[in-house]
A and B are shown apart, each in its own frame.
Chain A
């Protein structure tokens, strides 16, 4: 320890510019690896999530980009006819979110309402930390409370069995909600078209939607629900009929993409993006590692006399190797700490902004995905560290420690 301290304070830090440049290079390598690996992990997680919809017989609605998007001309009659048609001819999964309401809670967060029908709920198999599953055969009666699932954050104020009174934005009246269960911490939903983008359910309420609910809801919910509609157990012909029916009654052109089409899209788009991210990161890492090696070799050249004198008076190569590894261990450790702190601060910022859809819980503010990405960074650090240290030692051994070096 004494020798290591000596090297740090009297040798390495005396060439501060080299230490700082090495630290910055490693920081760049670490941050690039962290961002890329978290992005890949997040996309893979989203891919797993979306996989349940990527089955034979499932078609996902997508508003045609060329379609008329003047929603003002669409009336409630049109949407009601469409839902009647859906109920009679199709099994479907309905989901829409983004309706924010004020519900008193310990963290003073705005609450996001997520509406889903039984088809969507069964398709996604949400994990519940305590309480019971959602049920959908409730009566939309003023007297009867609607069973809901809530996020972990909200459950501190509203435990299982408690009731919440809200001004329901889509029903346009006050309703009583009964907490049926609590979603697992950090449950989230990936954006269909950007799988690494997540909305967290920690401060959300899952509202069960049945036929009666849709009939009583305003046009906002009815239309929004159609945008991400998932048709189950169906055929291409039937979805084409549905698309025509929707166009006739709403004036909106919807495309329904099959399992194969989705699969191709995922492979073409997401896997390609993942490959690009991975390859770019790898190239960047190789470049940064090369610059780090160059920096290390310049350091060796400048410190050769110091190393040689130490080798003359009793330093061994094996001890020098240990010193280098410890030194790089410290550099990587500080780097990891910096990245962890930046990430934790970013996550904490969501709490400060009261951004209900992004607040998360985790050890030291970091969620599982962050820890996994840090693990990847640690692994890459071990590889970079080994390459740089062994290159340094090779260089030192190549210039034989000799009296000539000093003269």
Chain B
């Protein structure tokens, strides 16, 4: 099987106003197309930072990263933005919605940046996605008018609307009850089964993690 992710990090320095941490030292990751990977570890070991790097959101690290056999160092910002739009879907916690937009506008946000032919195709899929996820009744509502579970499904819908090849999922079930957690995990795995989408999930939930093909445990060194 072909690797779609080939990542080798020597060092990533995480810095904020108070702390400076060296994380992900000598970390290597190879991922095949269609694989389901869970990343676990205690807070502060660099789980989200790793997801940022894989998702082309963070280029500030020492190491090498090839995505679809293309060294990301050679990819221009505009092209990275296109990849984030078309090939990488982000499924985040329920708070990752723009509160001033309706749920429908939030879900359709990636279409704003899509090329016209892709946009047409994805618009056709939109209705199907909305029904499959069961959020038709809240489309005209604003995020703050919806429950946590509904918002999570909306975030999920936005993450898959472009039919990405990779879904990066950061604690997608963190604030959900058991029923909604199951729903989101099933939706993720459904994408993997139906479209061979690669799933990389950062989670604290070991039960969710163990349902993936591979579990990577990050530890502090």
Q: What is A's interface to B at a CB cutoff of 8 Å?
A: 2-3, 6, 10-11, 14, 305-306, 309-319, 400-404, 406-407
For A306, list chain B residues within 8 Å (CB): 98, 100
Q: Which of B58, B86, B95 contacts A406 (CB 8 A)?
A: B95
- Contact at A312–B80, with CB atoms within 8 Å? no
User: Interface of chain A, helix or strand or loop or mixed?
Assistant: helix
For A315, list chain B residues within 8 Å (CB): 81, 113
For the complex with contacts A2-B112, A11-B98, A316-B80, 10 further pairs of A-B residues with Cβ separation under 8 Å are: A3-B113, A305-B98, A306-B98, A311-B81, A313-B110, A313-B112, A314-B85, A403-B48, A403-B52, A407-B92
For B113, list chain A residues within 8 Å (CB): 3, 313-315
Complex Cα spacing A203 to B180, Å: 82
Do A403 and B51 contact each other (CB < 8 Å), given the known contacts A311-B57, A313-B158? yes
CB distance from A354 to the nearest CB of B (A): 53
- Contact at A10–B90, with CB atoms within 8 Å? no
User: B28 an interface residue at 8 Å Cβ cutoff?
Assistant: no
- Contact at B109–A310, with CB atoms within 8 Å? yes
- Contact at A406–B96, with CB atoms within 8 Å? yes
Q: Which residue, of A305, A306, A406, has the highest number of chain B Cβ atoms within 10 A?
A: A406
Complex Cα spacing A215 to B218, Å: 107
CB distance from A403 to the nearest CB of B (A): 5
- Contact at A309–B96, with CB atoms within 8 Å? yes
Complex Cα spacing A310 to B158, Å: 11
- Contact at B57–A312, with CB atoms within 8 Å? yes
User: B35 an interface residue at 8 Å Cβ cutoff?
Assistant: no
Complex Cα spacing A3 to B84, Å: 16
Q: Which of B57, B60, B158 contacts A403 (CB 8 A)?
A: B57
CB distance from B216 to the nearest CB of A (A): 17
Task: Report the nearest B residue to A319, measured CB to CB.
Answer: B81
- Contact at B98–A309, with CB atoms within 8 Å? yes
- Contact at A316–B81, with CB atoms within 8 Å? yes
User: B74 an interface residue at 8 Å Cβ cutoff?
Assistant: no
- Contact at B57–A400, with CB atoms within 8 Å? yes
User: B78 an interface residue at 8 Å Cβ cutoff?
Assistant: yes
Q: What is B's interface to A at a CB cutoff of 8 Å?
A: 48-49, 51-52, 55, 57-58, 60, 77-78, 80-82, 84-86, 90, 92-93, 95-98, 100-101, 105, 109-110, 112-114, 158, 170-171
Query: Could you list 22 A-B pairs, sorted by A, with CB under 8 Å?
Result: A11-B100, A14-B100, A305-B98, A311-B57, A312-B90, A313-B110, A315-B81, A315-B113, A318-B78, A319-B81, A400-B60, A402-B58, A403-B51, A403-B52, A403-B55, A403-B57, A403-B96, A404-B48, A404-B52, A406-B95, A407-B48, A407-B93
Complex Cα spacing A318 to B79, Å: 11
- Contact at A312–B100, with CB atoms within 8 Å? no
For A309, list chain B residues within 8 Å (CB): 96-98, 109
Complex Cα spacing A406 to B55, Å: 15
- Contact at B85–A10, with CB atoms within 8 Å? no
For A311, list chain B residues within 8 Å (CB): 57, 81, 84
- Contact at B171–A407, with CB atoms within 8 Å? yes
Do A403 and B110 contact each other (CB < 8 Å), given the known contacts A14-B100, A309-B97, A316-B81? no
Q: Which of A10, A317, A402 contacts B48 (CB 8 A)?
A: A402
For B105, list chain A residues within 8 Å (CB): 10
For B98, list chain A residues within 8 Å (CB): 10-11, 305-306, 309
- Contact at B85–A313, with CB atoms within 8 Å? yes
For A402, list chain B residues within 8 Å (CB): 48-49, 52, 57-58
Complex Cα spacing A306 to B109, Å: 11
Q: Which residue, of A2, A11, A310, A402, has the highest number of chain B Cβ atoms within 10 A?
A: A402
For A316, list chain B residues within 8 Å (CB): 77-78, 80-81
A-B pairs, 8 with minimum CB distance: A314-B85, A314-B113, A316-B81, A313-B110, A406-B96, A14-B100, A403-B170, A402-B52
Q: Which residue, of A2, A312, A315, A404, has the highest number of chain B Cβ atoms within 10 A?
A: A312
- Contact at A406–B77, with CB atoms within 8 Å? no
Complex Cα spacing A402 to B50, Å: 10
Complex Cα spacing A11 to B114, Å: 19
For B114, list chain A residues within 8 Å (CB): 314
Task: Report the nearest B residue to A2, measured CB to CB.
Answer: B112
Q: Which residue, of B48, B93, B95, B112, has the highest number of chain A Cβ atoms within 10 A?
A: B112
Complex Cα spacing A403 to B98, Å: 14
Q: Which residue, of B52, B80, B82, B86, has the highest number of chain A Cβ atoms within 10 A?
A: B52
Q: Which of A11, A310, A318 contacts B77 (CB 8 A)?
A: A318
For B48, list chain A residues within 8 Å (CB): 402-404, 407
Task: Report the nearest A residue to B105, measured CB to CB.
Answer: A10
Q: Which of B58, B80, B85, B112 contacts A6 (CB 8 A)?
A: B112
Complex Cα spacing A313 to B101, Å: 15
Complex Cα spacing A313 to B107, Å: 10
For B110, list chain A residues within 8 Å (CB): 313-314
Complex Cα spacing A403 to B55, Å: 10
CB distance from B182 to the nearest CB of A (A): 22
For B171, list chain A residues within 8 Å (CB): 407
For B96, list chain A residues within 8 Å (CB): 305, 309, 403, 406-407
Complex Cα spacing A34 to B182, Å: 64
Q: Which of A14, A400, A407 contacts B95 (CB 8 A)?
A: A407
For A14, list chain B residues within 8 Å (CB): 100
